[in-house]
């Protein structure tokens, strides 16, 4: 049995009380949503470990208040603690409390998980810098996020749990348009949008190109009826305002309209409620 005393202390159960705010409730079972619930623990786990055990990836969290004071992820839980946890608000200034994400990303770039190809194309359509390759492994996605300072978008909570992930977002919806709406809302991106400036196929930047330079790649009718063309600086794909463009314009308008309607955030003063 070894050290009987430490064995005894390990068995002592403590209890803290947690309340999660806003979309962090998505990670909880219905019975714990928008309410205060007990969390039993032994020893002195960090509040980060406790929250991940509860099911919340650390990258979703921006602010933790324990007994009225903001704390870091390494805070050690104590018996009787009251813990309020807030999600990342890229758009709101909540200083001087301790934000866990030191650098809000004002011109965000993304790396999108392998199962979210349609979302990647929609974000590129809106002009957002979005890396995507269906061959990427989870470690490769994390490496790209780290080296290129990209936010990971994924439906996998496991991917967001890795220690080296600093910016990420767990996509809730399974519908690509709704997923795009979530991203616009979450990162407050309306001011960052420049639709039709990126290649939907490869994320390259589109540049104006003269018709003469690409005439040999056009069908005769396209060459006859269209004057303005853009070309991808990476894969050389050529774009023009054909019938597909009209459909995409309508889609962009729809995405912006949808993101407008979902932008209300019920913000409360940090503290115990
Ligand atoms: Zn391209």
Instruction: Tell me the pLDDT tens digit for each residue of 110-121.
Output: 999 999 999 999
Task: Tell me the CA–centroid distance for residue 160 and ligand 1, in Å.
Answer: 28
- The residue among 23, 106, 93 whose CA lies nearest residue 61 is 23
Check: CB of residue 159 under 8 Å from CB of residue 113.
yes
Task: Tell me the CA–centroid distance for residue 232 and ligand 1, in Å.
Answer: 5
CA pair distance 155, 37, nearest whole angstrom: 26
Phi, psi angles (nearest 5°) of residue 222: -65, -45
Per-residue pLDDT tens digits for 178-196: 999 999 988 888 777 889 9
Q: How many CB atoms lie within 10 A of CB 1?
A: 4
Task: Tell me the CA–centroid distance for residue 155 and ligand 1, in Å.
Answer: 25
CA pair distance 87, 223, nearest whole angstrom: 51
User: What is the model's pTM?
Assistant: 0.73
Which residues lie at CB < 5 A from ion ligand 1?
Answer: 199, 201-202, 204, 232, 234-235, 237
Task: Tell me the CA–centroid distance for residue 238 and ligand 1, in Å.
Answer: 9
Check: CB of residue 223 under 8 Å from CB of residue 235.
no
Task: Tell me the CA–centroid distance for residue 134 and ligand 1, in Å.
Answer: 16
Of 3.40.50.1820, 3.40.50.11270, 2.40.110.10, 3.10.20.30, the CATH number of 9-87 is: 3.10.20.30
The whole-number pLDDT of residue 1 equals 44
Q: For the chain, what are the domain ranges? A: 9-87, 110-195+247-261, 206-245
């Amino acid at each position: 049995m070894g050290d009987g005393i430490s064995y005894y202390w390990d068995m002592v159960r403590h209890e803290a009380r947690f309340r999660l705010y806003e979309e962090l409730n998505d990670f909880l079972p219905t019975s714990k949503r928008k309410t205060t619930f007990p969390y039993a623990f032994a020893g002195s786990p960090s509040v980060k470990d406790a929250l991940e055990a509860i099911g919340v990836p650390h990258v979703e969290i921006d602010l933790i208040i324990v007994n009225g004071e903001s704390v870091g992820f390494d805070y050690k839980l104590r018996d009787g603690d009251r813990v309020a946890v807030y999600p990342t608000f890229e758009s709101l200034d909540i200083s001087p409390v301790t934000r866990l994400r030191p650098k809000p990303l004002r011109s965000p770039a993304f790396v999108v998980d392998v199962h979210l190809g349609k979302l990647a194309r929609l974000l590129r359509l809106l002009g957002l810098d979005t890396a995507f390759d269906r061959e990427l492994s989870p470690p490769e996605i994390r490496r790209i996020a780290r080296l290129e300072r990209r936010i990971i978008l994924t439906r996998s909570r496991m991917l967001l749990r890795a220690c080296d992930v600093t910016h990420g977002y767990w996509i809730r919806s399974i519908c690509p348009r709704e997923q795009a709406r979530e991203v616009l809302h979450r990162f407050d991106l309306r001011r960052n949008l420049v639709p039709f400036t990126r290649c939907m196929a490869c994320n390259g930047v589109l540049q104006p190109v003269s018709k003469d330079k690409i005439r040999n790649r056009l069908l005769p009718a396209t060459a006859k009826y269209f004057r303005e063309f853009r070309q991808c600086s990476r894969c050389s794909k050529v774009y023009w305002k054909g019938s597909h463009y009209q459909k995409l314009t309508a889609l962009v308008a729809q995405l912006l309209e949808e993101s407008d309607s979902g932008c209300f955030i019920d913000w409360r003063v940090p503290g115990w409620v």
